[in-house]
């Protein structure tokens, strides 16, 4: 059986398309069964990464550092921060390693760049020291965290090629700094946006601000749509986009729209979409609202159904 487009042939369609003829690329007869198999393999790998022993489902707390040294639940040492960067002071017998080297006494980490961080180890724990929204934070990750053990997967829409769109990346004259709100009230993030993505989906034209992705040249978009707060997570979803071709062509596969960590836990500082990335239509594709979520109650994690 064939359909309009499949992920296994996405690269070929992307290369063949031009900004003036996206419909031609979508018209190529491609194998719907192969599309579904490839999506299932992708989502299985995505779930495995999410549910890894030191993944975000293992985060047991979110601690904001300040000038006052303090002990943090589940973390050895006294922690504080200043303009010079975060500091930990370890007592005799407290174990903390950085890059395989045991720390001893007082350790100064220096300034941590925005959205940067280091991972320390203490026994089975991974301890994330990071900077988010101009604040230094500590997040322990415990592979024995009950929420992680109970996680049974994220519901999704069935993969369907109708939620693929060939679009065009329109670069700004110069990259722009875009400030967005965060899942944590009062926090903001600043991202560099190289341009916008224009596309037509089910007969309607849309435009989304795009941010730089992890891979060189790649992009990602944060968005909400008419399903947000109903069948999908209310605050945001994210879609990764491969690097545009030389003529600016991009492929958007909304079947691969995923939840950010804040959909699963209060201990996340995820960015919210820019105001212009709120789609008025329902994107009935990709991941749905998780079945359970970690809520912070007096710094204690409790799993609650949603």
Domain extent listing, the chain: 2-50+154-290, 63-150
What are the percentages of helix, strand and coil residues in the chain, rounded to 5? 20, 40, 40
Mean pLDDT of 171-198: 96
What one-character DSSP code corresponds to residue 11?
Answer: H
Q: For position 29, what pLDDT does the model report?
A: 60
Chain mean pLDDT for the chain: 89
Q: For position 297, what pLDDT does the model report?
A: 57
Tokens for 35, please give them. Answer: 């599309």
Among 1-5, 94-98, 174-178, 193-197, whose mean pLDDT is lowest? 1-5
Tokens for 106, please give them. Answer: 């007082």
Of 271 and 25, more confident: 271
Q: Please, what is the Cα angle at 275 between 272 and 241, to 5 degrees?
A: 65
Query: Which residues are CB-contacts of 37 (< 8 A; sequence separation ≥ 6)?
Result: none
Using the predicted structure, report yes or no on whether residue 20 has a pLDDT greater than 50: no
Q: For position 23, what pLDDT does the model report?
A: 42
Going from the C-alpha of 117 to that of each of 28, 112, 129, 137, 276, the distances in angstroms are: 45, 6, 5, 9, 30
Q: Burial, 263: exposed, middle or buried (Cβ in 10 Å; 0-12, 13-18, 19+)?
A: buried
Tokens for 270, please give them. Answer: 């995820």
Using the predicted structure, report yes or no on whether residue 298 has a pLDDT greater than 70: no
**Rounded Cα–Cα distance for residues 164 and 159 (Å):** 10
Q: What three-state secondary structure class fits 66?
A: coil
For the chain, the straight-line distance linking the first and the last C-alpha, in angstroms and rounded, comes to 37
pLDDT band with cut points at 50, 70 and 90 for residue 208: very high
Q: For position 74, what pLDDT does the model report?
A: 82
Mean pLDDT of 122-150: 96
């Amino acid at each position: 059986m064939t359909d309009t487009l499949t992920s296994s042939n996405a690269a070929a369609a992307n290369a063949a398309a031009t900004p003036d003829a996206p419909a031609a690329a979508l018209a190529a007869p491609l194998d719907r069964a192969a599309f579904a198999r490839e999506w299932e393999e992708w989502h299985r790998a995505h779930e495995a990464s999410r549910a890894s022993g030191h993944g975000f489902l293992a985060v047991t707390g979110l601690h904001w550092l300040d000038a006052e040294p303090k002990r943090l639940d589940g973390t050895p040492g006294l922690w504080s921060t200043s303009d010079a960067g975060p500091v930990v002071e370890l007592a005799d017998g407290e174990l903390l390693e950085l890059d395989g080297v045991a720390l001893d006494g007082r350790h100064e980490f220096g300034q941590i760049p925005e959205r940067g961080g280091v991972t320390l180890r203490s026994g089975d724990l991974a301890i994330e020291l990071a900077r988010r929204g101009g604040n230094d934070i500590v997040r322990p990750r415990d592979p024995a965290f009950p929420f992680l053990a109970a996680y049974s997967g994220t519901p999704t829409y069935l993969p369907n090629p109708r939620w693929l769109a060939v679009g065009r990346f329109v670069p700004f004259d110069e990259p722009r700094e875009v400030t967005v709100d965060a899942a944590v009230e009062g926090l903001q993030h600043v991202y560099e946006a190289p341009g916008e993505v224009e596309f037509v989906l089910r007969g309607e034209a849309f435009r989304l601000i795009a941010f730089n992705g992890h891979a060189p040249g790649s992009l990602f978009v944060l968005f909400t749509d008419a399903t947000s707060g109903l069948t999908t997570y209310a605050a945001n979803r994210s879609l990764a986009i491969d690097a545009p071709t030389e003529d600016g062509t991009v492929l958007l596969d909304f079947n691969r729209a995923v939840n950010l960590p804040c959909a699963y836990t209060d201990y996340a500082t995820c960015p919210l979409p820019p105001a212009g990335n709120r789609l008025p239509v329902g994107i009935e594709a990709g991941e749905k609202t998780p079945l359970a979520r970690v809520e912070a109650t007096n710094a204690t994690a409790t799993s609650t159904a949603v």
